[in-house]
Structure 1
Amino acid sequence: MKVLRRTSAVSLDDRLAALAEAAELAEGRLDAEAVAQARTVVSRAGTRRSLSVDHTVVALAGATGSGKSSLFNALSGTTLARVGVTRPTTSTAQAAMWEPEGAGPLLDWLEIPRRHSVDGVDGMLSGLILLDLPDHDSIELAHRLEVDRLVAVVDLLVWVLDPQKYADAAVHERYLRPLSRHRDVMVVVLNQLDRLTPAAVDRCLGDLRRLLDEDGLSGVPIVGTSVPKNIGVADLRSTLAKRVADRRTWAARLAADVGTAADALAEASPNGLEKRAGDAEKALSDELARPLTAALTEAAGVPLVVEAVAKAHKHRSIAATGWPVTRWMRRFRPDPLRRLRLGVPPGGTPVIAGARGDGGAGGDRGARGEGGAVAASVGRTSLPPATAVQRSRMELAVRDVGSAASAGLPEPWAAAVRQAARSKADELAERLDRAVSVTSVGAGRRPRWWRVAGLLQWMLFVAMVAGIGWLSGLFVLDYLRFPELPTPTLGTVPWPTVLFAGGAFAGLLIALLCRVVAALGARRRARKARRALWAGVDEVGRELVLEPAREELARVRRFAGLLTTARG
């Protein structure tokens, strides 16, 4: 009863849908035969449900000499089946039909050419289609294949055993034990009881019950029969009548098939698979992301870029705030970022408008633009390719992610997770280069104080030039012996001298102070660039390494959950 309640907790439709999706998820990861079996069950279930559900197909199966053909005749009240003792007399399956209307398509699907309508018998069997199968131990291969084919599709199986061969390993190992899931759609008949004494009958029935229990078929009804003495035939007919009247035996058979197919998929998936996958997915956190990102940043040349950001900041600061007399010489020095094709969008013009004074993260976001416009337009950098050591560290970090994510998972799921972690490894180099290029666009932004300092420098430069011109004029007048013109003074120092000396000294002093401030800003900007580049590289690592592994683990968890549903 517990089994029935557990089965009814999940509808057949839900179990079939779960099995179909589980087979889809297991494609290429589990045994191909088990996946094909699951798909066959789903397909067969759809076909069986589309045919007559008012008919119940019951098959009599047994070994040579078990008396199943005699039992077939006794149940149908006919002499349709030929009766033999030592050799197979049933070469192809034949059907006896109670209420044949509507059974044609079902029998066509079952490929049963020999069909007989039974009239004038017990109306309680209305809707029964009784099949007499060939012997499962026949010397003819075609007979055995026919039995295997029909045993896999009929609604109810009646195994007819005889006292001599009821313990034969062939029937138990080949059929009964593998069909342990089908206990609800199975009846076992111990035939030819007339050959035994009453005490022997009891012993044989008890031993048969023990064997069935060992096969996992506890609870399967056992009916003792003897056709010549008409023993148990009525009981068997009554048992079949109850199953036929239920009209749901076909659904029970399909549910058992679903369970068997799900069990086959579960053989490579141990208990607790869903929890193991969940634990592995949790491992794909900062614990694994950080060493992966560290290896990727080395391979992407982030330290070189960070150094270039600091040097470029100093270089550009001197060019913008240095003493105008000497700053022009900076033009002959290469810009560290431009040399790497970093820090500016395509076209080579630094982004100035809208830049934050500190060149911080806000400016970087502005450089990215809406919808990642900059990301779509930046070109490749001129960073040197990763060294062999850096590539080796990167590959090792990717493998470590796969190994850690697959720890505790059974093969081949573990192999699938490891493969997923490195499935996009070929894209890493290009994506890392693009991430560095995009992230560094904001690195060339000019602080606002550069403009103020540069304007002040030019004002001082103008003052110095004015002082030089004034002094030069006074020198010319004196040289030509013109009368000396009155010259204003600042205290005792003439204004021309103040303008010349003061402009030069103040310009040099401001240039020196700006260098100090630029050095501090370079360190700050380098730290921010390091954080931004780390975040950009981390995003690439998560997208190309961690996320594929996480998706595969989610696939494993989904598969495990679907198996639980499919198994009822």
Structure 2
Amino acid sequence: MSERKILRAVSGLNSQINSIVEAMQLAEPYLEPETIDLAADVIARAESRRQLSAEHVVVGLFGATGSGKSTMFNALVGQELATTGVIRPTTTDTVAAIWEPEGAGELLDWLEVTTRHVIEDRDGQADSAKKKTFDSGLLLLDLPDMDSTAVDHHKIASRLVGQVDYLVWVLDPQKYADASIHHGYLNSLRSQQGNLLIVLNQIDTIAERDRKQVVDSLRGILATSRLENLPIVCASAATGEGVSDVQAKIAAAAKNKALSTRRLRADVDQVIHHLSEELQVEKVRLPSQVHQAELERVIAKAHGAHYIADAVETSYLLRGASRTGWPLTTWLVKLRNDPLKRMNLGRQHEDPELSLTSRPELSIAETAAIEHGINQYVAEASADLPESWKEPLREKVHANTAELDDGIDAAIAGTPLGVERSSWWWPVVKVIQWVALVAALGGALWLAGYPVAGYFQFELPEAPRIEGIAVPTLLVFIGILLGIVLGLACSFVNRIVAKVKRRKALKNIERSVSQLVRQAVIEPVDQHLDTYNSYSALITSAAKKAD
């Protein structure tokens, strides 16, 4: 393989690993522990293997008890390195045949292989014939039996299944259909078909006329696991038949210096496909602004936003009547209760952060309306999410909304309602009202002075007249009429302004409530969906690059 292709393979693997790492950082709280462990194991294995020798290719011989695996190992190496015999298991430790010891030590340490043999000729020189057959970077391993009754042996074989670069499965005619081999191991290696070789050993024990039938039977069993394309080599380690074919396959694999990268890439692809299959959709849509506004309105309404807005209107009218009405009747207004003061609202001097309203507790219906609105919003927003992503979102929103009522109460207490200050024109009208009242009282006293003076036999000068009407009479009528007309006019104006105040107060209350609703519900939901979309984009992009 060319250097350029090797670099391209390494670059592709790095890109996929980076995508998985970033995706795991985003989605770890929402994935099943088994999925996280699988990804972590593959990434850790890939990171470790990439830091070790890239010039060596690790080929492992796997097989069940009695398959002749160790005999095949010795035949491939050309030396009696692995123990063979009738006592089972014969292979108790992993045995390594090394054609190039330089740089292989750390790799074998990572593989936890302690029994190592450097292939040399009798004079201590490298065997030129074997070097010609096998690439100098080959590490050939003979592993303990896959079905060994010794637990340690089974663990070693299972671990090395995920570590070696090229897997050679040695089967014998009696156990080639063993379910423990196929379902226990081969099924999990579908993604590694390019790194697998099946050797049907002891072929000499089968008559020539029956061999095709046996191979076809094995091929059919592999097909049930979608492994029908695996290469199958018939061989006999005892007679040497087919051994050269096995050597050729291994030699071809050993020359591929990107084989370890391809093996890791297959493992990474398997993880990516697994994660990709769990995606419900590639991208979920965030709730629209219409849905957000509807939720905000529902919660604001349940917290009495309209009731408070009505109270603002009433309060403004009462305060306006008190400040602009006819002074002789304004005391009647004070007999009416100000609804804002009753709720401890509309007091500018109070610290909003330390103030709470005196509004009644939310009713059962209002509480239910809030819960229903939030639950419906979250349910619609998370409808397309996988189940493992839904429950954490519900829990997060529920935790955020546990103290939402108190927060909204404080927010309403600090919301400017527009009645904290008097309207600028109220003092002007008040002055005019009092001037008119004083003028009317002055005219009345003036008129009353004439009969009193006559009673005491005083002669008062005649009151001046305007258009034939005495001035004190004009003062009385104009003062009273001006006060009443001005009071009625101001009442009309106050009603118009009160409507405007109501609308503004309602908007301010809804804005205050919406800020808390956004913090407690809308923003966490958006962030959760954005996290899923980022995770999904990473997995989807990596899946498209997978082989």
TM-score after normalising by structure 2: 0.88
* Comparing 432-441 and 78-87, the one that deviates more: 432-441
- Deviation string, structure 1 residues 327-356 (Cα, Å, up to 9, x no partner): 3565565432233232343438xxxxxxxx
Contact 2:96 2:140 in 1 (8 A): yes
Cα distance between partner residues in 1 of 2:418 and 2:199 = 84
Q: Could you say if the C-alpha distance between residues 454 and 194 of structure 1 is closer, same or farther in structure 2, counting changes exceeding 3 Å?
A: same
Other structure's SS at 1:116 match: strand
**What amino acid is aligned across from residue 232 of structure 2 in structure 1?**
I
- Deviation string, structure 1 residues 423-464 (Cα, Å, up to 9, x no partner): 312132023223323434434354444344334324323433
Where does residue 327 of structure 2 map in the other structure?
324
Other structure's SS at 2:399 match: coil
Other structure's SS at 2:199 match: strand
Map 1:453-472 onto structure 2 (within 5 A).
453-468=429-444, 470-471=446-447
- Deviation string, structure 1 residues 269-318 (Cα, Å, up to 9, x no partner): 25x4224x33xx34x5524752x334412431223211211111101111
Deviation at 1:466, TM superposition (A): 4.2
Contact 2:32 2:388 in 1 (8 A): no
Deviation at 1:471, TM superposition (A): 4.5
**What amino acid is aligned across from residue 165 of structure 2 in structure 1?**
D
Deviation at 1:566, TM superposition (A): 4.1
**What amino acid is aligned across from residue 513 of structure 2 in structure 1?**
V
Cα distance between partner residues in 2 of 1:382 and 1:71 = 89
Structure 1 unpaired stretches of 5+: 349-374
Q: Could you say if the C-alpha distance between residues 347 and 477 of structure 1 is closer, same or farther in structure 2, counting changes exceeding 3 Å?
A: farther
* Comparing 507-516 and 456-465, the one that deviates more: 456-465
Cα distance between partner residues in 1 of 2:418 and 2:252 = 81
Deviation at 1:253, TM superposition (A): 1.7
1:302 aligned to which of 291, 305, 308: 305
- Deviation string, structure 1 residues 176-234 (Cα, Å, up to 9, x no partner): 11111111222222222222233333333333333333322243332222223323323
Contact 2:9 2:258 in 1 (8 A): no
Are 2:371 and 1:395 equivalent residues in the alignment?
yes
Map 1:503-518 onto structure 2 (within 5 A).
503-518=479-494
* Comparing 206-215 and 101-110, the one that deviates more: 206-215
**What amino acid is aligned across from residue 465 of structure 2 in structure 1?**
T
* Comparing 231-240 and 132-141, the one that deviates more: 231-240
Cα distance between partner residues in 1 of 2:117 and 2:140 = 10
Contact 2:401 2:520 in 1 (8 A): yes
Other structure's SS at 1:160 match: strand
Cα distance between partner residues in 1 of 2:144 and 2:52 = 25
- Deviation string, structure 1 residues 111-167 (Cα, Å, up to 9, x no partner): 111122123231542111111110001122221111111112222211111222112
Q: Could you say if the C-alpha distance between residues 47 and 60 of structure 1 is closer, same or farther in structure 2, counting changes exceeding 3 Å?
A: same
Deviation at 1:511, TM superposition (A): 0.9
Cα distance between partner residues in 2 of 1:110 and 1:274 = 38
Where does residue 84 of structure 1 map in the other structure?
85
Where does residue 313 of structure 1 map in the other structure?
316
Where does residue 403 of structure 2 map in the other structure?
427
Are 2:522 and 1:546 equivalent residues in the alignment?
yes
* Comparing 142-151 and 500-509, the one that deviates more: 500-509
Map 1:136-535 onto structure 2 (within 5 A).
136-266=146-276, 269=278, 272-275=280-283, 277-278=284-285, 281-282=286-287, 285-287=289-291, 289-290=293-294, 292-327=295-330, 330=333, 333-347=336-350, 377=353, 379-468=355-444, 470-471=446-447, 478=454, 480-535=456-511
Where does residue 353 of structure 1 map in the other structure?
none
- Deviation string, structure 1 residues 95-115 (Cα, Å, up to 9, x no partner): 111211122222212211112
Cα distance between partner residues in 1 of 2:281 and 2:403 = 31
Cα distance between partner residues in 2 of 1:443 and 1:245 = 86
**What amino acid is aligned across from residue 144 of structure 1 in structure 2?**
H
Contact 2:397 2:521 in 1 (8 A): yes
Deviation at 1:479, TM superposition (A): 5.4
Contact 2:415 2:508 in 1 (8 A): yes
Contact 2:312 2:340 in 1 (8 A): yes
**What amino acid is aligned across from residue 76 of structure 2 in structure 1?**
L
Contact 1:378 1:437 in 2 (8 A): no
Cα distance between partner residues in 2 of 1:530 and 1:63 = 79
* Comparing 229-238 and 108-117, the one that deviates more: 229-238
Cα distance between partner residues in 2 of 1:447 and 1:301 = 25
Cα distance between partner residues in 2 of 1:501 and 1:562 = 86
Structure 2 unpaired stretches of 5+: 121-126
Where does residue 122 of structure 1 map in the other structure?
131
Where does residue 124 of structure 2 map in the other structure?
none
Identity %: 36
**What amino acid is aligned across from residue 490 of structure 2 in structure 1?**
C
Aligned-pair RMSD on alpha carbons?
A: 2.8
Contact 1:225 1:231 in 2 (8 A): yes
* Comparing 195-204 and 55-64, the one that deviates more: 195-204
Cα distance between partner residues in 2 of 1:331 and 1:127 = 101
Contact 2:13 2:265 in 1 (8 A): yes
Cα distance between partner residues in 1 of 2:358 and 2:15 = 57
Cα distance between partner residues in 1 of 2:11 and 2:348 = 59
Other structure's SS at 2:155 match: helix
Cα distance between partner residues in 1 of 2:60 and 2:435 = 108
Q: Could you say if the C-alpha distance between residues 163 and 513 of structure 1 is closer, same or farther in structure 2, counting changes exceeding 3 Å?
A: same
Cα distance between partner residues in 1 of 2:355 and 2:250 = 78
Where does residue 123 of structure 2 map in the other structure?
none
Q: Could you say if the C-alpha distance between residues 147 and 68 of structure 1 is closer, same or farther in structure 2, counting changes exceeding 3 Å?
A: same
* Comparing 386-395 and 194-203, the one that deviates more: 194-203
Q: Could you say if the C-alpha distance between residues 210 and 52 of structure 1 is closer, same or farther in structure 2, counting changes exceeding 3 Å?
A: same
Q: Could you say if the C-alpha distance between residues 438 and 242 of structure 1 is closer, same or farther in structure 2, counting changes exceeding 3 Å?
A: farther
Other structure's SS at 2:20 match: helix
- Deviation string, structure 1 residues 345-380 (Cα, Å, up to 9, x no partner): 3438xxxxxxxxxxxxxxxxxxxxxxxxxx7x5732
* Comparing 455-464 and 29-38, the one that deviates more: 455-464
**What amino acid is aligned across from residue 388 of structure 1 in structure 2?**
I
Cα distance between partner residues in 2 of 1:46 and 1:314 = 75
Other structure's SS at 2:361 match: coil
Contact 1:398 1:422 in 2 (8 A): no
**What amino acid is aligned across from residue 485 of structure 2 in structure 1?**
L
Deviation at 1:255, TM superposition (A): 1.6
Cα distance between partner residues in 2 of 1:471 and 1:347 = 50
Where does residue 51 of structure 2 map in the other structure?
50
Cα distance between partner residues in 1 of 2:363 and 2:101 = 79
Contact 2:144 2:156 in 1 (8 A): yes
Give aligned pairs, total: 529
Where does residue 359 of structure 1 map in the other structure?
none
Cα distance between partner residues in 2 of 1:10 and 1:518 = 75
Cα distance between partner residues in 2 of 1:107 and 1:161 = 26
